[in-house]
């Protein structure tokens, strides 16, 4: 009976050490708060982009375009200081530049 008690005690200790090590493993693999906030920020940005598509009747396949991806990359690269284009810039200034490029 002594051997079975020792074996039972060792098994219990192994289970306890496995439980505690798995707890520490889980704690070590927790997502840092800044990553969680960035995910939340990305989610907020994605919601706004999707809403822009919905409210303006923009076809969903535009999201697959090279130009759309390039726009997002350039805006992100510019950072928080980026100011959106005005109606006048889109309608006059940049349209004129694109027409000149095409000629």
Does residue 88 sit in the same domain as residue 72?
Answer: yes
Does residue 72 sit in the same domain as residue 98?
Answer: yes
Does residue 22 sit in the same domain as residue 37?
Answer: no
Each residue's pLDDT tens digit, 7-29: 666 655 655 555 545 544 555 56
Containing structural domain, residue 16: 1-30
**pLDDT for the residue 9:** 65
CA 91 to each of CA 7, 58, 77: distance values in angstroms, whole numbers, following the listed order: 82, 18, 24
Mean pLDDT of all residues in the chain? 81
Q: What CA–CA distance (Å, rounded) separates 92 from 20? A: 66
Does residue 71 sit in the same domain as residue 91?
Answer: yes
Does residue 101 sit in the same domain as residue 69?
Answer: yes
Does residue 24 sit in the same domain as residue 49?
Answer: no
Q: How many domains does the chain have?
A: 3
In contact, 24 and 16? CB cutoff 8 Å: no
Each residue's pLDDT tens digit, 92-101: 999 999 999 9
pTM beyond 0.85: the answer is no
What is the percent of the chain with per-residue pLDDT over 90, rounded to a whole number? Answer: 55
Higher-confidence residue: 35 or 66?
66
């Amino acid at each position: 009976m002594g051997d079975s008690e020792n074996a039972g005690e060792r098994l219990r200790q192994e289970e306890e050490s496995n439980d505690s090590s798995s707890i520490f493993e889980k704690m070590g693999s927790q997502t840092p708060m800044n990553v969680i906030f960035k995910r939340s920020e990305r989610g907020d940005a994605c919601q706004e982009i999707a809403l822009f598509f919905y409210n303006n009747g923009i076809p969903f396949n535009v999201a697959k375009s090279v130009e759309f991806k390039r726009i997002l990359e350039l805006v992100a690269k510019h950072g928080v200081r980026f100011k959106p284009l005005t109606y006048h810039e889109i309608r006059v200034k940049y349209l004129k530049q694109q027409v000149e490029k095409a000629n």
